[in-house]
A = this chain, B = another copy of it.
């Protein structure tokens, strides 16, 4: 049986060979997190902020150790078949460690969501009722191989009063452990409860399944990665999951659109950064404006080497387009491809988006007030843009300060998830011997 109270995962000294029983290990880790979560819930913001700033300083002070650990991951990268781009994302240098530290400093400067009184009133008879924001409790965070996410996620979770169990990708495990070692050492020095931040000491895939069973100990699981990972986690989890599925984002060009504006917005939404979830994947154009607008839009997309997959009404208006297949309407290309359709009306555009989209981010280009109002009401997405690029759906832009993901769910949190989205509330009722009659 794995000895829970002395579990050394936060100090980075547990190696995989120390783990005799995976079930016991995961249970002990989650029990430790639950215990830490109760202490974290009562912690003063000043303590959490000091930890964030000390950790930032600690990361910089330990730059050479972190780079050495990172080198082990880089050396192993070819064994995992990582692409050049993935290896580049994995690489840490002094500048990148400074950025990681700066992100923690920024989290320290954000207001503490815990303790906020959301609302309150006094009942006839004098019973005082407060609705107060409190942490969710324990967050199980699963992510892939970018080591900066390790520090980011730990910072966001602890600042919002949650204990966090970090399950990082095997490709970055040594880098992540070096980072967590610094965070854990600072945690002890700053008076954070033990095990507020734990890195899962094994990269055994079965560990994820074990944690996903522990609904009594873990309040929410947040998987960040490919659709396969998220789907697996959503299927297996016994606790709530904040899901970040694909972003099949649309731009709809209304009959009352400014065509030049539409061309600029589509170019930005599609081409400014293609591999991200808020990039545009599909273009819908009102039939009344298609003949004028589509050739101009297509010319700009062609200049950007975008492959255009068009329905039969759009195809004749596009220089260099190819015929779309039915599967195209649901595709998140994350690359230089876009699907294009002509629609009969704004209502048809909204129906198309609600049917094929992913409730992520969708935009209308129009100068008509009623069209803007109707589109924002009808489209069932986390963010609806009027005359603005889909690329603006972002925690920073929305003023959240730091985000742990973008939820494509409608339940609990929608869109960018920052500190507040990692909290819940409790009712606090104060009486003076009040009894119910």
Contact = CB atoms under 8 A, between A and B. Distances in A.
Q: How many copies of this chain does the complex contain?
A: 2
Interface string A71-94: 000000000000000000000000
Given A42-B374, A240-B411, A272 B380 contact: no
Interface in A259-275: 261, 264-265, 267-269, 272
A427 B411 contact: no
A415 interface: yes
A288 to B, nearest CB: 20
Interface size class of A (residues with CB under 8 A): 35 or more
Given A136-B410, A399-B121, A386 B428 contact: yes
Given A42-B374, A129-B399, A398-B129, A393 B435 contact: no
A424 B433 contact: no
Contact of A268 (B42, B129, B412, B435): B435
DSSP class of A's interface residues: helix, strand, loop or mixed?
Answer: mixed
A269 B388 CA distance: 55
Contacts of A386: 428-431
Interface in A106-120: none
A159 interface: no
A351 B436 CA distance: 27
Contacts of A429: 383-386, 388, 392-393
7 contacts: A384-B426, A386-B431, A388-B430, A388-B431, A389-B436, A392-B431, A412-B412
Given A121-B399, A382-B426, 9 more contacts: A42-B377, A42-B378, A127-B397, A136-B411, A265-B435, A372-B430, A385-B431, A388-B434, A414-B427
